[in-house]
Amino acid sequence: MALHVGIIPDGNRRFGALELDPGASKLEAARAGNRAGLSALAEAVGWFLADPRLRELTIYGFSEENWNRDPAEVEHIMELVDALLGVEAESVYGGVAGWIRATTQSEIDAGREPPRAELRVVERSQSRGLPEHTRALARKAEENIRACQKEAEDAGVVFSDSPTKVLNLLLSYGGGSDVELACAGSGGPAVSRMGVPRPLDLLIRSGGERRLSGFLPVQTMYAELFFLDALWPEIGTEDLNAVVDEFENRRNRRFGR
């Protein structure tokens, strides 16, 4: 099994409001919740890399509509995005590249062959795009991950012969924009020109809401949907494993047949 899993990590701001004193401002709650959400994201990426059942993980990091939030909160989120991508440009192990390196080392320490991994930062917006310095960091993060694995390989690490794991991070992504941009392009089927071409097998949304909010509208056509009431910073690997276990054991996917 090589599953493509999507995650909508909802509930950060509500988590921050619960953690802080009642007198805290909405902005303070948002900042605290988003920081906690980033920590939960690091754990989820490690889970994805270590689980042999999973091949691709797509995370809804920041939507096209999220630009409409309080400008101060958007500024803070962009700071966290920069940290996620490895704001220390000189450090090959900053941000998500560091998470992948740490998981690789954990697999080696456990006597297992680590998987190869690839990061794809996906931006699909027709209204407002990412700052250019964030785009540069995204390109650098993608390069850093390749450099991490090349360094390990040069040091004698033997990687698994399983397919490369792909981590898609959606930033300034709009589902409608994705469809329109794909249809306006040329060369091959429109779906092959979408930000994330491969269909999803299952989608996990935290925070209690029961909607997709523009997340990969085409690729989720036959995805199994799992809505969790827990807020994103409360979600751990046990919760994610439970979803995949249920998907494997209880879901009968017929694809219209």
Q: Which residues, at least 6 apart from 91, have a Cβ–Cβ distance to it below 8 Å?
A: 98
Is residue 193 in a domain? Answer: yes
β-partners of residue 8 are: 205
Q: How far apart are CA 80 and CA 134, in angstroms?
A: 11
Reported as a single tens digit per residue, the pLDDT across 194-239 is: 999 999 999 999 999 999 999 999 999 999 999 999 999 999 999 9
Percentage with pLDDT > 70 across the chain: 95
Other beta carbons within 10 angstroms of residue 37's beta carbon come to 24
Give how many domains the chain has, as a whole number: 1
Is residue 158 in a domain? Answer: yes
pLDDT at 3 over 60: yes
Q: Note down the domain range covering 197.
A: 3-250
pLDDT at 92 over 50: no
Q: Which H helix or E strand runs over 173? A: strand 165-173
Is residue 257 in a domain? Answer: no
Reported as a single tens digit per residue, the pLDDT across 66-79 is: 999 999 999 999 99
Q: How far apart are CA 200 and CA 225, in angstroms?
A: 10
Selected residue with higher pLDDT from 133 and 190: 133
- What pLDDT shows up at residue 89? 43
Q: What's the pTM?
A: 0.93
Mean pLDDT on 114-120: 93
Is residue 227 in a domain? Answer: yes
Is residue 46 in a domain? Answer: yes
pLDDT at 129 over 60: yes
Q: ∠ at Cα 243 (49, 43), nearest 5°? A: 35
pLDDT at 251 over 70: no
Is residue 102 in a domain? Answer: yes
CATH number of the domain within which 158 lies: 3.40.1180.10
